[in-house]
């Protein structure tokens, strides 16, 4: 054998071996799809002898059909056309088991570039396919978990561009954060400077460990520029020790804060009410104790007076004793009124009527001479269920304070209106007086708090108002105050006729 021939036979030998040792079952076809050869892997898989196979069309063996497969399914036509490899993914059923095959068709070209043969190999990709499907399912599941969370969830890449936002996030921020062509960054979601601050805290060890931010209160910015208080947790996502993204979870705090404020207000009112109640009890007790000795003092002073001769100089002194005792009696009477130990009789009244009548009682006094009185009494049904005498006291106290604050000169406005939805009636007493100093605001309803000079104020006016309003299921507050004047606001429940309020006086009339 010549050297060249030996080389050639060697080469043919290893080429056949390569073909045979291919780990995929493989066929060699002619361009007309006739089977020329198959490797041993193929013969084993399909349990067939080579000579049974050679000469058959590929479709005859694989599908028991003389018709070639449709072009859409069989890539051979395309291989012949563009002389490039093509493949097709096929789901097959082998012994009742679902498998996935990647069938790869590669051309073997002649020296002038025509397709002489086609290699068709069968690769089992069931494992990859199954993994792919599991991955997809896991992804879908995770997506659902994220989407269904009632907390807003966001993720952004290291440059701050947003990658993910769940529905709750879009609700909270008020727009579809992701769909906007990726132009929104995390900086847009916070008031200026906040995003950086959060990133800084995230990288610190102190706030929950490096890369983690434990529950933190902060503020976010919605699409219309509203700042919303939220509670957030955040973390940096690392991959192989490198920062790749950040994620954050937000919970809207507005509702919680509103409830907290209500609770705080309710507690403040309770404290005030308790202070008033205990002082009222104390006052009532003291008044009772003093009443008896006072009666004694007056009785004996009168006796002594009667026994003295008309020109006795001691008569004048005894006159002072009796006069001062009378003043003491008056103070005691006021204290008892303050502690409100009289019984109340609540009835349904129109609030405007009480306002008019209360004003009529006092407006002839000298102090009103230079006061303009403006009434803005709304013209709707504003029935309230209150004790008229007590409520007259409320209005008189507020009005007298207003007039005092204006030093007798200015405009006094009495305003009534209602909020039907909230079922409330409002009464406002507004003055153009000196206003209340900030440091006194929390004290004006306290018993005995007064800024008036001794002898002019008792400091009991507003605390009486407070107690009465509360007894009538209402609220009183300083709506506004400043150097140009003060507005006190009383709110009362709007009486609803359908409501079954027990009112014996009403059924008689």
Q: Which stretch binds ligand ADP (CB under 6 A): 112-120, 177-185, 281-289, 397-405?
A: 397-405
- Whether 79 contacts 108, CB under 8 Å: no
From the list ligand ADP, Mg ion, none, partner contacted by residue 452 (C-beta under 5 to 8 A by kind): ligand ADP
- Contact pattern for Mg ion over residues 343 through 382, marking x by CB under 5 A: ----------------------------------------
- Could you give the strand order of the β-sheet that contains 212-221, starting from the edge strand earlier in sequence? 162-165, 152-157, 242-252, 227-239, 212-221
In the complex with ligand ADP, the residue whose CB is nearer, 218 or 401, is: 401
From the list ligand ADP, Mg ion, none, partner contacted by residue 449 (C-beta under 5 to 8 A by kind): ligand ADP
Give the residue among 264, 268, 266 at the shortest CA–CA distance from 446. Answer: 268
Residue 435 lies near Mg ion (rule: CB under 5 A) = no
Q: What is the DSSP letter of 81?
A: H
From the list ligand ADP, Mg ion, none, partner contacted by residue 402 (C-beta under 5 to 8 A by kind): ligand ADP
User: Can you tell me which of 28, 152, 177, 434 binds ligand ADP, judged by CB under 6 A?
Assistant: 434
Rounded distance, CA 362 to CA 14, Å?
A: 124
Burial class (CB in 10 A: 0-12, 13-18, 19+), 215: exposed
Rounded distance, CA 421 to CA 440, Å?
A: 34
- Whether 12 contacts 55, CB under 8 Å: no
Q: Name the strand (E) or helix (H) holding 148.
A: helix 126-148
Euclidean distance between the first and the last CA atom of the chain, given in angstroms as a whole number: 139
Q: Measured from the CB of residue 404, what is the shortest distance to Mg ion in angstroms?
A: 7
Rounded distance, CA 476 to CA 194, Å?
A: 39
Residue 410 lies near Mg ion (rule: CB under 5 A) = no
Residue 469 lies near ligand ADP (rule: CB under 6 A) = no
Residue 368 lies near ligand ADP (rule: CB under 6 A) = no
Residue nearest to ligand ADP (CB): 461
Phi-psi sector, 193: left (phi>0), alpha (psi -120 to 50), beta = left
Q: Measured from the CB of residue 453, what is the shortest distance to ligand ADP in angstroms?
A: 10
Residue 354 lies near ligand ADP (rule: CB under 6 A) = no
Rounded distance, CA 188 to CA 384, Å?
A: 50
Q: Measured from the CB of residue 323, what is the shortest distance to ligand ADP in angstroms?
A: 23
Residue 279 lies near ligand ADP (rule: CB under 6 A) = no
Q: What would the DSSP string read from start to end of 21-80?
A: H-SS-EEEEETT-BEEEE-HHHHHHHT--HHHHTTSBHHHHHHS-SSPPPTTT-THHHHH
**Residue with token string 């060890």:** 205
Q: Measured from the CB of residue 445, what is the shortest distance to Mg ion in angstroms?
A: 11
Q: How many residues bind ligand ADP (CB under 6 A)?
A: 21
User: Can you tell me which of 339, 401, 432, 472 binds ligand ADP, judged by CB under 6 A?
Assistant: 401
From the list ligand ADP, Mg ion, none, partner contacted by residue 436 (C-beta under 5 to 8 A by kind): ligand ADP
Residue 467 lies near ligand ADP (rule: CB under 6 A) = no
- Residues numbered 139 to 158 that lie near ligand ADP (CB under 6 A) are none
- Residues numbered 414 to 433 that lie near ligand ADP (CB under 6 A) are 431, 433
Residue 463 lies near Mg ion (rule: CB under 5 A) = no
**Residue with token string 């006796």:** 303
Residue 401 lies near Mg ion (rule: CB under 5 A) = yes
Number of alpha helices (DSSP H) and beta strands (DSSP E) in the chain: 14, 17
Residue 461 lies near Mg ion (rule: CB under 5 A) = yes
In the complex with ligand ADP, the residue whose CB is nearer, 272 or 486, is: 486
- Whether 254 contacts 210, CB under 8 Å: no
Rounded distance, CA 19 to CA 286, Å?
A: 117
Residue 25 lies near ligand ADP (rule: CB under 6 A) = no
- Residues numbered 435 to 454 that lie near ligand ADP (CB under 6 A) are 435-436, 444, 449-452
Q: What is the DSSP letter of 161?
A: B
Residue 486 lies near ligand ADP (rule: CB under 6 A) = yes
Rounded distance, CA 382 to CA 391, Å?
A: 15
Q: Which stretch binds ligand ADP (CB under 6 A): 22-30, 182-190, 213-221, 395-403?
A: 395-403
Residue 46 lies near ligand ADP (rule: CB under 6 A) = no
In the complex with Mg ion, the residue whose CB is nearer, 401 or 432, is: 401
In the complex with ligand ADP, the residue whose CB is nearer, 75 or 435, is: 435
Q: What is the DSSP letter of 93?
A: E
Contact residues: ligand ADP, CB under 6 A: 397, 401-402, 405, 431, 433-436, 444, 449-452, 457-459, 461-463, 486
Task: List interacting residues with Mg ion (CB under 5 A).
Answer: 401, 461
């Amino acid at each position: 054998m010549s050297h060249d021939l030996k080389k050639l036979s060697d080469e043919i030998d290893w080429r056949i071996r390569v073909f045979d040792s291919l780990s995929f079952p493989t066929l060699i076809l002619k361009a007309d799809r006739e089977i020329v050869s198959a490797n041993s892997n193929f013969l084993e898989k399909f349990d067939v002898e080579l000579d049974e196979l050679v000469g058959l069309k590929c479709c005859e063996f694989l599908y028991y059909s003389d018709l070639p497969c449709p072009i859409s399914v069989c890539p051979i036509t395309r291989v012949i056309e563009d002389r490039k490899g093509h493949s097709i993914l096929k789901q097959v059923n082998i012994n009742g088991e679902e498998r996935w095959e990647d069938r790869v068709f590669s051309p073997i070209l002649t020296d002038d570039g025509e397709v002489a043969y086609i290699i068709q190999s069968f690769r089992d990709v069931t494992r990859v396919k199954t993994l792919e499907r599991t991955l997809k399912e896991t992804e879908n599941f995770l997506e659902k978990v994220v989407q269904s969370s009632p907390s807003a969830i966001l993720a952004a890449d290291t440059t701050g561009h947003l990658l993910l936002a769940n529905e709750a996030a879009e609700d909270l921020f008020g727009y579809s954060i992701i769909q906007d062509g990726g132009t929104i960054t995390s900086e847009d979601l916070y008031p200026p400077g906040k995003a950086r601050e959060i990133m800084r805290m995230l990288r610190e060890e102190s706030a929950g460990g490096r890369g983690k931010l434990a529950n933190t209160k902060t503020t976010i910015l919605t699409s219309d520029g509203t700042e919303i208080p939220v509670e957030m947790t955040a973390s940096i996502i690392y991959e192989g020790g490198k920062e790749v993204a950040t994620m954050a979870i937000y919970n809207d705090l507005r509702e919680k804060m509103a409830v907290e404020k209500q609770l705080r207000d309710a507690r403040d009112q309770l404290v005030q009410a308790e202070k008033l109640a205990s002082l009222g009890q104390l006052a009532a007790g003291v008044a009772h104790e003093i009443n008896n000795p006072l009666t004694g003092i007056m009785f004996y002073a009168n006796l002594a007076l009667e026994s003295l001769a008309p020109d006795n100089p001691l008569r004048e002194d005894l006159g002072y004793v009796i006069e001062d005792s009378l003043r003491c009696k008056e103070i005691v009477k006021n204290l008892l009124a303050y502690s409100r130990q009289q019984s109340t009789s609540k009835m349904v009244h129109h609030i405007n009527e009480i306002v008019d009548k209360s004003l009529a009682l006092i407006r002839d006094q000298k102090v009103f001479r230079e006061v303009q009185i403006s009434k803005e009494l709304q013209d709707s049904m504003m029935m309230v269920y209150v004790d008229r005498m007590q409520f007259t006291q409320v209005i008189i106290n507020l009005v007298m304070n207003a007039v005092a604050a204006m030093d007798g000169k200015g405009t006094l406005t009495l305003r009534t209106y209602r909020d039907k939805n909230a079922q409330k009636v409002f009464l406002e007493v507004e003055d153009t007086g000196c206003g209340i100093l900030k440091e006194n605001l929390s004290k004006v309803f306290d018993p005995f708090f007064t800024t008036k000079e001794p002898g002019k104020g008792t400091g009991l006016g507003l605390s009486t108002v407070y107690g009465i309003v509360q007894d009538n299921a209402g609220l009183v507050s300083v709506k506004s105050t400043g150097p140009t004047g003060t507005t006190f606001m009383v709110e009362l429940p709007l009486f609803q006729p359908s409501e079954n309020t027990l009112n014996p006086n009403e059924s008689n009339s």
